[in-house]
Amino acid sequence: MESKILSQYEIDSLLSSLTTETPAEEESMLRRPQLANVKAYDFRRPDKFSKDHIRTLQMIHESFSRLIASSLSGYLRLGITTRLVSVEQLVYDEYLARIPAPTLLNIVSLSPLPGRSFLEISLPVAFAFLDRLLGGTAKSLQKTREPTDIELSLLNSITALLLNNLKEAWGNVIHLDPALEETSLSPQQIHGLLPTDVMVVFAFEARIMEAGGTMSLAMPYALLEPVLPKLSAQLWFTSSRQDGSGEAPSGLRRQVEKVAIPVQVQLGRAKVTLRELIDLQGGDVITLDTYLKDDVPVLVRGESKYRGRPGLVGKRMSVQITEVLEDTEEETVERRA
């Protein structure tokens, strides 16, 4: 039997017949879902906040972060930096799993909003704050331990300051009245929400001198639901510019007013030789170039701003301001140079 070799035309015909689909098959292919357009959806972690909600919440808490840095720097008299690093939607049990133990977990009410929120401060940051409150240089502990009751009481002053900043940051949306309800060191002891309850979590990074750590603020969906219609970026910007006065916000003004600056009173001057200075003994008198009834300069950060008259208030030395000095043009130019 003689074998037949197929021509190229016959080979192409056979291949085309294998790939050719019937009209019914083509219609079936059209009805199949395109996997590239399918979006995965986790029913355990539903997205209850829209992109506009998240964007507005991010702007509010970026402002909160700046207020924290400003107020803590003034309160502790030390440079502190904070920044918002992430905004996430999590379920309650996932949020608890992310919190280290032990940690400083403050349960906070935000009246008139329903429910409670959670303000967490990691212990390295908390102990750095505590060290500064006690007169130290903001050093954190080498080994982690739980704060004592006295230390927790001192740290409550920091929490109160942060809650005041939170109230101010939300001022353009709603007038909040934050209050600390409870402080816990173990996240697992906190109850009141279902494991599947959705919340938005704001994570912050804080640094004070050489110490650094994290802080977080968690707000349940049920708490924010009443104000969701107000959480639009356009509305937030409109509310923040309603006054149109061009002046600094009252909150910023209050923070600036708390900044401590050195004030000195110059009672007088005298010139002595090095020999006279070396020979000074107890009981010697140095004659100044001012008289008892003369007004003396009052210096603010080394610059003469007022004139006053020294005296006593009770048993404490004091000075009565008698004149406010205005900068002359020459003094201003000299300082700028």
Q: Is 77 left (phi over 0), alpha (psi -120 to 50) or beta?
A: left
Query: What's residue 172's pLDDT?
Result: 84
Query: What's residue 84's pLDDT?
Result: 94
Q: pTM for this one?
A: 0.60
| Distance (Å, whole) CA 141 – CA 144 | 6
Asked which of 222, 257, 292 is the last residue of a domain, the reply is: 257
Which letter, b or e, does each residue of 44-67 get, where b requires 16 or more Cβ atoms within 10 Å of its Cβ?
A: eeeeebeeebbbbbbbbbbbbbbb
Residue 201 has pLDDT above 90, yes or no: yes
Lowest mean pLDDT among 45-54, 113-122, 267-276, 280-289: 45-54
Classified as helix, coil or strand, 16 is helix
Higher model confidence: residue 299 or residue 12? 299
Query: What's residue 336's pLDDT?
Result: 42
Classified as helix, coil or strand, 202 is strand
250 lies in the same domain as 287: no
pLDDT tens-digit readout, 101-118: 888 999 999 999 998 999
> Would you list the DSSP string of 121-151?
E-HHHHHHHHHHHTTS--PPPSS--PPPHHH
198 lies in the same domain as 288: no
Per-residue pLDDT band at 246 (split at 50, 70, 90): very low
- Per-residue pLDDT, averaged over 301-322, amounts to 87
Asked which of 257, 283, 301 is the last residue of a domain, the reply is: 257
246 lies in the same domain as 276: no
253 lies in the same domain as 296: no
From the number of C-beta atoms within 10 Å of its C-beta (0-12, 13-18, 19+), residue 207 rates as middle
CATH number of the domain to which 172 belongs: 3.40.1550.10
> What is the pLDDT of the chain when averaged over all its residues?
80
| Distance (Å, whole) CA 202 – CA 170 | 14
Lowest mean pLDDT among 76-85, 123-132, 147-156, 319-328: 319-328
Residue 199 lies in a domain: yes
268 lies in the same domain as 171: no
pLDDT tens-digit readout, 151-174: 999 999 999 999 999 999 998 888
CATH number of the domain to which 329 belongs: 2.30.330.10
Quote the crossing angle between the two packed helices 51-76 and 233-240, to the nearest 10°. 40
Asked which of 218, 236, 257 is the last residue of a domain, the reply is: 257
Residue 177 has pLDDT above 90, yes or no: yes
Query: What's residue 87's pLDDT?
Result: 93
Whether the bond between 114 and the residue before it is cis, its omega within 30 degrees of 0, is no
Is residue 123 within 8 A of residue 102, CB to CB? The reply is yes
Q: What is the extent of the structural domain holding 147? A: 51-257
Higher model confidence: residue 45 or residue 333? 45
Residue 173 lies in a domain: yes
DSSP symbol at 210: T
